[in-house]
Structure 1
């Protein structure tokens, strides 16, 4: 069996399995032994292929393919198809895991089918969680996101795996900041480098002391700690306008998150955790102030504040969904199946009209038709200015506002016509400009 699996020979595996099975008919002990032998052979092949750092991806695909074929020929169980890939990930480095993860993505549609889902769901979830524990959130950010996206595709919409139903907080995340003694040495060095910037240790302590409340928001409901939280949340420290806009945004978003938790109705929250009217008024004012500061923080402050508001609204809806014991969304869907839309038939329409048809049929050569002598484009100068000259005659008694020479449209057409007909037009214009300049100069002196 070991040799058959190592050579990826399905026929040899089938014949070996049959010969071993014929020794003792339907013996449960023999079947258990066969499963154990197959498990050892499968793990041996994984170690042989992926014990080295350089992994041949083609061989990994081949191994998974033959395991799938073995299942369809009743040579192994359904869970073996996932266990093989899980063993591969356990013995190869992270750099090779990212290359081999496409195997999981390609086999996901098969594992999501009704026949495989119940037996493979927990194995896929465990395999992805084991990978996430090995990865760094800062170094392997894209790979972590790839795994989380796959889990979102693999699990149903209302799956409760990974939900923090009890609303527990990660209190192990402790922020360490400088003590008075260590701050004194840092302060001396800082003052030598930046003498014009004031440094206040009390402000430094108040600012970083907020992180303890951010990691455990429930502590804000205690009367003594609420006084500390309210004191250090005063926006006097923010009026210093932290120079780093990104750092300022991080802090303001943290404030908005904890404010939303304080006002939210969480089922797992202790019944005694209730804010009075004065505390609620303080939180609401702080929320408005945070959004105002986010809008004033560049770049694209208003857009960033709007995005944060939308994200927190969705977080609020998700919290309400958990309060309702994670109801199945599919129950609220429409029972009747939506009918299929008919494909629109695009008809060939005649977009023309009789006038355009007549225009296009005047002459086969449109350029010659435009240059035809019968087409009068530019009028004669004498005919064009005859009426405006008559309007300038005092005997005609035409008011200035009705004279054509004062009409901007006529002025533009007359300028175009004179430029086209008169070769001395520009000389006359320049002479007029020079005369006007000389007259203005004389009056100035």
Structure 2
């Protein structure tokens, strides 16, 4: 096709080929025909061809409109027309159809919300979609087309993200045009119908509706539509007085069961000529705007839905008055007396909601939950309505080795059953499981002879010298045992001091130094009295091991390497014991002899304490029996 063809010629040719392609549902035909044309000229002519073809379909075949829009969407994805074209076609269709047909066609728009949110269409079409929906709303009646209006608003809520500025009331404005008129007689026909239809049983009626209560009730709507008037002192007094009268009427006039209300409610519905009355046992009619005739008020107060609506209006107003709103002025702040009144009235309203059938208590809890969630939205608006973003997914390492080594965690129930079959317990932690299964009866395990020991204060506190002891005080397990031992064997533990304990490690460091001083003082006193040898003071105090005990413990010490590491021997020293001695018994005996000869803290008590910690039970029993 030549590029010299004008716009009108291209439009006519595209319209002909578009008709053939749509009738045969062959979009490839349209695509191949338009490839040889300049893109700018092609899209402009193709857009007009789509609109011209739409006019023919509206007259000749209106049942194919949805398919035609879908055909246009696919053309957009192939970059044959501009992305706004599907919404432009929908706008033309809605302008040409009646409201009943528009309501049916709007289902197609609702179902395609994911299409409009695609990257290709969203940026280009969002303003056109908003304009199309607003044009529809202008044609609709809020009282007669309530459901259709709600569907349009729900579609916009689904289509636009939460942070879209066009859908947010950023500066917290109120709809001051929503005026509720009352007090006048605008319908003689309605009044005559009420005079004929409404018959009230005086025995069952507990509330007298006078003109004063009627005016007070409907004047509250001015406060509900413009809550800022409550910050005026005079208006606040008026609001409190009117609210007190209305809530007192609600409190004194209890609602009957739903089954007993039907006769009265049906009379209220019969006089509402603006609403289509299609009675059904399961259907509950919704009135978009209240009727304000005085003779209707008693019937309205008998309607649980009407009463709930008014009470919820109170709660919404109270939440606004007591919440921190970014765009409130400094003078718009309640006093403590006003806040207390709101708290008392809120409690009364929730009580009235709980007494309103059906399912009053459940309904009141739902309202309380919804209003609590509204506080989060209020905080979000105060923060400037930041955009909601999904958290970023963690960076995954695409490595075959990682995938191979990644094991599926076993269900906890299977692990518990496996341990139960072995008459054991699974505690969820390896160390706890091991500890719990040492003995079936924990009390019996606590009374065993292996646990009946207590090291000396000096051997425990000074086991690693001054520097080592200072380092050990930072260990939680060592510190816990040290405090228990000090409470049993040290006079310093219960001595009152004027210096408070700042940190536990500092206190333990101080106690290590005191025990060291006391031990040195005792050794000096014993030396002065001649109770010990001059050159072997420490060995006399620390109870040296006898040859019989050494032979007995060496025989049972099969895991001597574990003990050697605990006693502080290095790997090369352990290798020396292993190469110099032929048997494990000889190696253990050699190691213990050197330890008792070289280590100042070596004693039978310390050896027993260390082996108990390493669970060398047989060696401990042999050493105890050899004493």
Q: Structures share a fold, TM > 0.5?
A: yes
Counterpart for residue 63 of structure 1: 68
* Whole-angstrom CA distance in 1 between matches of 2:68 and 2:409: 45
1:305 aligns with 2:396: no
CA pair 137-215 structure 1, distance change in 2 beyond 3 A = same
In the other structure, the counterpart of 1:418 is none
Larger radius of gyration, structure 1 or 2? 2
Match of 2:376 in 1: 317
Q: Is the partner of 2:166 in helix, strand or coil?
A: coil
Cα distance in 2 between the residues matched to 1:343 and 1:85: 53
**Are the structure 2 counterparts of residues 195 and 65 from structure 1 closer, same or farther at C-alpha, using a change threshold of 3 Å?**
closer
Structure 2 portions without partners, runs of 5+: 1-13, 254-300, 398-405, 415-627
Change (3 A) 1:48 1:344: farther
Q: Secondary structure at the match of 1:173?
A: coil
CA gap 1:200/1:72 in 2 versus in 1, 3 angstroms:
closer
Output one character per residue of 1:233-263: Cα deviation in whole Å (capped at 9) or x when no partner: 1133333424332222111111111111111
Q: Is the 8 A contact 2:250 2:352 kept in 1?
A: no
- CA drift of 1:157 comes to 4.0
Q: Structure 1 residues 6 and 258 mapped into 2: Cα distance closer, same or farther (>3 Å)?
A: same
Take 2:138 and 2:185, find their aligned partners in 1: how far apart are those partners? 37
Q: Does 1:109 align with 2:114?
A: yes
Matched, 1:89 2:94: yes
Alpha-carbon distance change, 69 to 154 in structure 1, aligned in 2, over 3 angstroms: same
| Cα deviation code 1:11-57 (max 9, x no counterpart) | 664566467x4xxxx6x9xx45x5554333222222222248x830x
Question: Structure 2-normalised TM-score?
Answer: 0.47
Q: Which residue of 2 aligns with 1:98?
A: 103
SS in 2 for 1:329: coil
Q: Deviations over 1:378-407 (max 9, x none)?
A: xxxxxxxxxxxxxxxxxxxxxxxxxxxxxx
Q: CA deviation at 1:165?
A: 1.1
Cα distance change, pair 65–157 in 1 and its aligned pair in 2 (3 A): same
- Residue aligning to 1:222: 232
Change (3 A) 1:344 1:51: farther
Counting matched residue pairs gives: 337
Aligned pairs (5 A) from 1:259-278: 259-278=318-337
| Aligned-residue offset at 1:95 | 2.2
Q: Does 1:239 align with 2:251?
A: yes
In structure 2, C-alpha distance between the alignment counterparts of 1:175 and 1:341, rounded to whole Å: 68
Q: Which residue of 2 aligns with 1:421?
A: none
CA distance in 1, matches of 2:306, 2:184: 22
CA distance in 2, matches of 1:69, 1:324: 41
8 A contact 2:176–2:225 mirrored in 1: yes
Report the counterpart of residue 125 of structure 1 in structure 2. Answer: 130
Q: CA deviation at 1:203?
A: 1.1
Are 1:8 and 1:66, in contact at CA under 8 Å, matched by a contact in 2?
no
Give me the whole-angstrom Cα distance separating, in 1, the residues matched to 2:90 and 2:199. 56
Distance apart, 1:343 and its partner CA: 10
* Structure 1: gaps of 5 or more residues: 348-445
Number of the residue aligned with 1:361: none
The alpha-carbon distance between structure 1 residues 151 and 174, as it changes in their structure 2 partners (threshold 3 A), is closer
Paired residue for 1:284? 343
Which residue does 2:56 correspond to in 1? 48
